[in-house]
């Protein structure tokens, strides 16, 4: 089994920014209330005619450039999303074609906000076994398109964006050291888009009842998230034979500042080691972690050999974390 690392990152968010003050004109809420309860100040919103594949393409293009990898060298494109262009074909197929990754297999993966972690875990196995040499993993969402903009409990939380990473073989001892993945389908209804699938196909009734939009039981999701974020971070460190003192950078899912604070407190690490961009983007679901990672890389917050923990939770319910010993130096062959 080869060691596998992330040798390139990229991200993209739409230009249009929706601030909390803008939201005050749409729904019964206010800037202070949103900031106090979530930490979010603004979010980026895709134009109506911009599908998630466009965001994924832009993020993927940047990741390939950062990794200095040509599109035709990619063996697999994996897109984690809950807002695909279509039920089928897979968004990954559209993105691979747009990028010119003509030699790549492609498929979508759905694990909600945990999607990027699940995607990295899945993709790394292809490289570790030698089946593939280079894999492009993208987490992308256009959640604004499935929000009920009259529901202040959900529409204030989410934003659009995409983040990407190129996975490749790296020197032994570097790269991905451990994973922790989990799920609990008994909590599936706590965060869902009820209609549009085979259980509730689109109808006049489902549209009138707003069942094609995000439905969330916020208090229950919050309780689950506060517990699982710290717990899974500790578990994944133990699997890697490390402790909280070894963490150089924590990249958590950017859902709610109070949830992140609880995880940081559970780990007992300095807030200086935590990547936070929630205030600028809101919750971008599967795009949240890879965008935060890319911004940390671009800001020079990671050095060779640093220990990175990425952790998230999402619909499903799902959760996941991974430990990474940072290097961007890939091994060919």
**Pick the catalytic residue: 20, 56, 93, 113?**
113
- Whole-angstrom Cα distance, residue 84 to residue 323? 28
Catalytic choice (20, 277, 283, 322): 283
Residues 6+ apart with CB under 8 A from 258: 37, 38, 39, 222, 226
Q: How many CA atoms lie within 13 Å of 12's alpha carbon, on the beta-carbon side? A: 22
Q: How far apart are CA 186 and CA 323, in angstroms?
A: 28
Catalytic residue among 56, 155, 253, 256: 253
Distances (CA, A) of 12 to 18, 98, 171: 16, 16, 29
- For residue 168, say if its preceding peptide bond is cis, omega within 30 degrees of 0: no
Annotation says 93 is catalytic: no
Residue 132 Rama label (left phi>0; alpha psi -120 to 50; beta): beta
Closest of 155, 65, 60 to residue 106, by C-alpha:
60
Q: Is 212 a catalytic residue?
A: no
Spatial contact of 82 and 58, defined as CB atoms under 8 Å apart = no
Strands of 249-252's sheet in order across:
175-183, 318-325, 307-314, 249-252
Separation CA 123–CA 177 (nearest Å): 14
Q: Active site includes 253?
A: yes
Tell me which residues are annotated as active site. Answer: 113, 253, 283
């Amino acid at each position: 089994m080869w060691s596998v690392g992330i040798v390139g990152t990229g991200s993209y968010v739409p230009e249009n920014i929706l601030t909390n003050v803008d939201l005050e004109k749409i729904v019964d809420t206010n800037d202070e209330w949103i900031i106090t309860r979530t930490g979010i100040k603004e979010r980026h919103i895709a134009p109506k005619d911009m599908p998630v594949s466009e965001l994924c393409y832009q993020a993927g293009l940047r990741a390939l450039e950062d990794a200095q990898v040509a599109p035709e060298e990619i063996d697999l494109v994996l897109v984690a999303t809950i807002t695909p262009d279509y039920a089928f074909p897979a968004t990954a197929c559209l993105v691979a074609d747009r990028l010119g990754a003509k030699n790549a297999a492609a498929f979508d993966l759905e694990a909600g906000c945990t999607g990027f972690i699940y995607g990295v875990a899945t993709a790394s196995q292809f490289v570790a076994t030698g089946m593939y040499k280079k894999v492009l993993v993208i987490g992308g969402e256009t959640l604004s398109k499935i929000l009920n903009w009259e529901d202040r409990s959900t529409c204030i939380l989410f934003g659009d964006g995409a983040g990407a990473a190129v996975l490749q073989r790296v020197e032994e001892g570097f790269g991905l050291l451990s994973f922790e993945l989990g799920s609990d389908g008994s909590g599936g209804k706590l965060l869902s888009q009820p209609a549009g699938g085979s259980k509730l196909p689109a109808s006049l009734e489902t549209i009138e009842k707003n069942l094609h939009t995000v439905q969330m039981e916020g208090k229950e999701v919050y309780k689950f998230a506060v517990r699982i974020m710290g717990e899974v971070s500790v578990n994944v460190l133990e699997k890697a034979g490390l402790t909280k003192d070894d963490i150089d950078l924590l990249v958590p899912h950017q859902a709610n500042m109070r949830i992140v604070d609880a995880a940081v407190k559970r780990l007992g690490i300095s807030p200086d080691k935590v990547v936070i961009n929630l205030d600028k983007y809101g919750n971008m679901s599967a795009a949240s972690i890879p965008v935060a990672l890319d911004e940390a890389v671009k800001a020079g917050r990671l050095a060779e050999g640093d220990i990175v923990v990425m952790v998230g939770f999402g619909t499903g319910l799902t959760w996941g974390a991974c430990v990474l010993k940072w290097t961007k130096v890939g091994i060919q062959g």
